[in-house]
A and B are shown apart, each in its own frame.
Chain A
Amino acid sequence: MNDWTGYDWQLLQGTQEEPYVQMALEEVLLANVARGVRKPTLRIWEWASSSVVLGRFQSVRNEVDLEAAEELGVTVVRRITGGGAMFNEPQNTITYSLYVPEELVRGMSFVESYAFLDDWVIRGLRELGIDAFYEPINDITSSKGKIGGAAQTRRQGAVLHHAMLSYDIDADRMLQVLRIGREKMSDKGTKSANRRVSPLLDQTQMGRADVINSLTATFRQLHGLTKSEISPDERAAALELAESKFSSREWIYLLP
């Protein structure tokens, strides 16, 4: 129980996916780990295009300026986990997911399992000289400011834990698209808003790919990691689900 080393951890990394397909892959890969068709997996995402990813319970109109999103070519998608809206640009974020059997976090509260499942990232960031720490419930932060956030959901005995780290931020574009950021900016002024978030590029000189390689190396050292591929069945299921669910108005505007 609560032992990472009892699994043959799989690494999915490399393919760029469109936002709807990213959302669909989460559901498909989680279901496959739940069914035992796929071994516990770490996926490092690569984004094919920019997006706003809404939390499962967020309202589109309260979070997003749809006109600005359209103008900037930003796709609005809704994920299956709760939490807050994230603005993604392909080279600016480091996104990853863990799909794990629930037994790995058995006996832990929802809140405890967040810190547990992100412990390898905190260690990995510290190895890069960043004084990262976990701020419950779901923030990956540092003395210089927040770096990222995580979200979870559980299905049929498996846990999806995914997180997004800011590598760099185009604050102008983000504030055009996200309403909440704009309000925080106008309330507290630009300086304090910038202080609240500290992307990795402010804290290290390393390139994004090097940061990712270093983080996966940390995971490999701690828990082992075997290279894996998205199977043809998984890809077919994800493309089908992207079409039927994640790009549908019913899902995106689930909370208008």
Chain B
Amino acid sequence: MIVDFSVRDGRIVDVQINGDFFLEPPETLTSLNHALEGMPQGADHAELVSALQAAVPAGAELVGFGPAGIATAVRRALQ
């Protein structure tokens, strides 16, 4: 799982989560990208996780990735 993004004016922008995972319904990916868009670059792991969790609709299935892994990838990239 890869998170491509930029930082502008201290905020996370142009987010594209991608990789060899499975996700139903597929449109959930747009919600996950939007959840990170505009977050402050200083947001900690827990803040990122809770924003991502709020973007996962009831009944969605995430296989091979999840909010915690996405948040870890973002934090690593920012360090």
Chain A residues packing against B (C-beta within 8 Å): 55-59, 62, 81-85, 110-111, 137, 151-154, 255-256
- Tell whether A83 pairs with B20 under 8 Å between CB atoms, given A57-B29, A59-B4, A110-B61: yes
Measured between C-beta atoms, what is the minimum distance from A112 to chain B in Å?
12
CB-CB under 8 A for A57 and B26, given A62-B4, A84-B20: yes
Residues on the A chain within 8 Å of B21, using CB: 55, 57, 82-83
For the complex formed, measure the closest distance between the CB of B22 and the CB atoms of chain A, giving whole angstroms.
4
Q: Which of B11-30 contact A (CB under 8 A)?
A: 16-24, 26, 29
Q: Known: A57-B21, A255-B16. Contact between A62 and B2, CB under 8 A?
A: yes
- B64 sits at the interface (CB 8 A): yes
Instruction: Say whether B58 faces chain A, with CB atoms less than 8 Å apart.
Output: no
Q: Which residues of B are at the interface with A, using a C-beta cutoff of 8 A?
A: 2, 4, 16-24, 26, 29, 61, 63-64
Smallest CB–CB gap between A89 and chain B, Å?
Answer: 20
B63–A58 CB distance below 8 A:
no
Q: Is B61 within 8 A of A82, CB to CB?
A: no
Report Cα–Cα, A62/B64, bound state, in Å: 18
**Nearest 7 A/B pairs, CB to CB:** A84-B20, A82-B22, A59-B18, A255-B18, A55-B20, A83-B20, A110-B61
Q: A82-B21, A255-B18 are in contact. List 15 more A-B contacts (CB 8 A).
A: A55-B19, A57-B21, A57-B26, A57-B29, A58-B18, A58-B20, A62-B4, A82-B20, A82-B63, A82-B64, A110-B24, A151-B22, A153-B26, A154-B24, A255-B16
Residues on B with C-beta less than 8 A from A85 are: 20
* Nearest neighbor of A60 in chain B, beta-carbon distance: B18
Bound-state Cα–Cα, A137 to B17, Å: 20
Chain B residues positioned under 8 Å from A57 (CB to CB) = 17-21, 23, 26, 29
CA distance A82 to B21 in the complex (A): 6
